[in-house]
Structure 1
């Protein structure tokens, strides 16, 4: 397997300790948990998604563990502006705050709370199970462009997380680029559901949810590949990454870095250290040599 040179990397205006980030919604709930993940080898961390008002989220069950992934419908639970207090002890660490809103004005409002407190922002325009938020906006190129511009004009690094649940993800990526995005993150969860044959009802309280984990890795690879050919922005690959070889494959498709989420649930936070040990070596190659190398 290809191994990489180990060194800090700057992507989309954010300097990371390595190419591995904690994905939004996984252990990003407190300053303590974010610090712990960084100490365990993550090169950067993305917080849970924070919105304009506190939300309790959907009624449970909210998570179902599958053989090859995780089905979830959390409903964007968050403490809203109170979350700013969790960042006070993180200083200059590579923390990206995931934010959501129902329109450009709400995105700008929430983004403003974190100006000067975080290394960057990640716009959640992709959650598939929160009515009025996430993918409800992220399937519309015009709204994606407007929401991105509302945040990017504040001067912070602005990453935009895209949904795979669209006919043409490149149209959404181009809209984020027009709006001034610093990078795009591909992808969030895939629309899905399961039904309990014993209970004769959906396994999730919300009925519908989003599928993450190894099952969607090929979907994420294709999305990254298509976006690399259509957009000039740096791409952070996300979806089912659980090994160093997965990271290399994502980078060959066009990703400059990756986010890891479901693998933390399966392997715990030591997955970052495990992947780091396999991915890097002092005599490894320059990552630039493989980024996008699978394109003809």
Structure 2
């Protein structure tokens, strides 16, 4: 069997497969052996209580789904008492994802989650920043640097920065995250979109706009992983439209060290186990002894890669 173990900063994973936050729950243990995964990423915590967005919150669309959940939360105390403990009984690193409206709240929550049973903290900075008129932190390199610096001052825990594809220059944002002390990047989250019911002429989401996920965004996510890989030395966790082992391998070749699976788990709660099996089969078929050797191994002419990098930077 090939060695599927990888390392994301200081965090050792038995394999590169983990859930995306918000797309996974403890009930999935009925369909999936959690001890077979690389990590368990819990739904993002908001340190303040919030009801979430108005309904409807989910809409089907071609090649994926739209959602505008709004990260409902019962707050930090409830999370520590009721949400986190069930995940810690497994022999798999637990990653606590955090979402907050301000840099100060992000830092406060990260400090509270810097616990021995938490292997890493994922800062979901692709969420709105109330101090910047609702613009996501990760849209701006400056906002990214400020929020991650605030978090880093409050914790020495491994810090993963979850970026957004809804930015003009993802490489600049990635460099800002690295400069602020992030240990890894999660690239990325959903692509902003909307859908309209032509019979009622109303938006299909109660929030009007929401995040597009699923196979439709995979080429976008893959491109951004590759751009981040060229821009920084941090390990990258690829996310966006991954549903098969081949999808995961594509992200590894583009520069990811690990992957997160989101929408596909709603269709098949056991899909991550199948992806792990598929990675073993891929490595055996292609003579890959250690899967970590695939990271960034896409065959692209250096001059061509540099040309596209300049083009993307100028377009931004």
Q: TM-score, normalised by structure 2?
A: 0.85
Q: Secondary structure at the match of 1:174?
A: helix
| Alpha-carbon spacing, 1:113–1:59, altered in 2? closer, same or farther (3 Å) | same
Rg: which structure is higher?
Answer: 2
State how 1:23-102 maps to structure 2 within 5 Å: 23-28=20-25, 32-33=26-27, 37=32, 39=34, 41-81=36-76, 82-85=78-81, 86-89=83-86, 90-91=88-89, 93-102=92-101
Q: Secondary structure at the match of 1:50?
A: coil
Q: Secondary structure at the match of 1:205?
A: coil
Residue aligning to 2:296: 292
Residue aligning to 2:252: 251
1:125–1:135 Cα contact (<8 Å) kept: no
Poorly superposed stretches of 4+, deviation over 3 Å: 32-38, 281-284
Residue aligning to 2:9: 12
CA distance in 2, matches of 1:160, 1:180: 10
Shift of 1:5: 2.0
Shift of 1:174: 0.6
2:214 aligned with 1:213, yes or no? yes
Q: Secondary structure at the match of 2:136?
A: helix
Residue aligning to 2:119: 119
Unaligned runs of 5+ in 2: 303-316
**Greater displacement, 197-206 / 95-104:** 95-104
CA RMSD of aligned residues (A): 2.1
Residue aligning to 2:108: 109
Say which structure is richer in helix. 2
Residue aligning to 1:168: 169
Q: How many residue pairs end up in the alignment?
A: 287
CA distance in 2, matches of 1:48, 1:109: 18
2:6–2:257 Cα contact (<8 Å) kept: no
Shift of 1:104: 2.2
Unaligned runs of 5+ in 1: none
Q: TM-score, normalised by structure 1?
A: 0.90
Shift of 1:33: 3.5
Q: Secondary structure at the match of 2:42?
A: strand
Q: Secondary structure at the match of 2:56?
A: coil
CA distance in 2, matches of 1:96, 1:135: 25
CA distance in 1, matches of 2:33, 2:147: 29
